[in-house]
Amino acid sequence: MFFRCGVAAAALHVVADALLALEPGVSVGEHWPAVTFPLAILLVAGWAYPGLRPGLRAGLGLSLGVLMLVAAGVAVAAASQEGADIDEVTGFLLFPAGIALLALGALVLWRSRRPKGHIYLRRTLKAVGGLVVAYWVVVPIGFAWVATHRPASAPEAAELGRPYEEIRLQTSDGLELAAWYVPSENGAAVITYPSGEGSAAEAAMLASHGFGVLALDARGYGESEGDPNAFGWGATADIDGAVTYLKSRPDVEAGIGGLGLSVGGEQMLEAAADNPDLRAVVSEGAGERSIRETLLFGPAAALTIPHQAVLTTAVAVFSGDKPPPALDDAASGIAPGATFLIYGEQGQAGEELNVDYFDAAQEPKELWEVPGAGHTGGLDAQPAEYERRVTSFFEQHLLDRPARPFAP
């Protein structure tokens, strides 16, 4: 009874989140995977629970309890940012329900213990099995939920070095995105992505050299419409919409480029592979965004592959987006456009794959491991050299100027 009550609370939240509390610009049809798959799993779990062995009942209760608390935490965070809607209200119910399922799972586990036989061996095997299930299943599903439901925060005004205007632009799939635009003084323009506020320093640097800068907020973030997705899947339409906007600007007479940070760098590579109007892109801090990149590590990733497979599947279900192409494939399709890959010497796990992306890319291309830099920290760690390299790259490929020499 307690378990099925918890399942009912989870099912109610799934329906409210996917069907009743839609983000601006999003239709119900886009959320059908986020309803059908979780509901099917919950219904099967509720039906099968009484007939399962005690260890499986305990594991199912503990796993679902943890995931419900994760979803409840996201609901509280969203309510603090945006106010409580029906999905937040149903999310609040997951707190007591999740705690009840954790207590139920622990109770079933305690009662199922055997006082005789290989006690310590059994307990060790159960503990190892529990950790494996947590790492391969519970953690990636919880992370996928957070990645596709993270609440947006209102952006603060940024200092971009020159006057800018607040604009709204349209994407091909019908969303309205928010951006700041600094008009071009040299005829070229660069899109910074995925956050105007988060890329303000890089935007100001480019603006100081006369480039037009379109500092774009990705779908689902800032004041842009759409569902959030921390992995950026499906967001190349954002960049394409920005390119279309810049082509309409009378001050943009030369080339259009892009500078993406982290997931924005990954999306910039994918967009440039399919959009010839993006003549040059800088990608800083690109890493893994699906299991396709994890497979590039080869046998060394054997223990990580199940985790990434579940994560990729969960993100696809919760977002309704198909996994994007592998980044090495995207990099290989950018030429004759130019590619500049940047990653930090002390960057996060996965950034070392930039070497693979560089090897896959065709000329013209550049690669720079920034000494002393963390994730997307190139400008902070090496400000003068970063400015020289990035502005020279855009001057060369957007304005057809000779490359400037770099510091040794």
- For the stretch 45-85, pLDDT in tens is 999 989 988 888 889 999 999 999 999 999 998 888 777 78
Query: What tokens were used for 184?
Result: 């071009």
Is pLDDT above 60 for 407? no
Region 16-31 average pLDDT: 85
pLDDT in tens, 319-367: 999 999 999 999 999 999 999 999 999 999 899 999 999 999 999 999 9
Burial of 47 (0-12, 13-18, 19+ CB in 10 A): exposed
**Residue written as tokens 């886009």?**
30
pTM passes above 0.75: yes
pLDDT at residue number 257: 98
pLDDT at residue number 405: 60
State the pLDDT confidence band at 118, using cuts at 50, 70 and 90. Answer: low
State the pLDDT confidence band at 131, using cuts at 50, 70 and 90. Answer: confident
> Which domains does the chain carry?
2-149 (no CATH), 165-289+324-398 (3.40.50.1820)
pLDDT in tens, 270-286: 999 999 999 999 999 99
Residue 27: count other Cβ atoms within 10 Å of its Cβ. 8
333 — alpha (psi -120 to 50), left (phi > 0) or beta?
alpha
For residue 225, the number of C-alpha atoms closer than 13 Å in the C-beta half-sphere is 16
Q: Is residue 141 within 8 Å of residue 65, measured between CB atoms?
A: no
How far is residue 303 CA from its own chain's centroid? 22
Region 123-145 average pLDDT: 85
pLDDT at residue number 334: 97
pLDDT at residue number 408: 46
pLDDT at residue number 347: 92
Distance CA 309, CA 223 (A): 32
Q: Is residue 227 within 8 Å of residue 149, measured between CB atoms?
A: no
Query: What tokens were used for 166?
Result: 């607040």
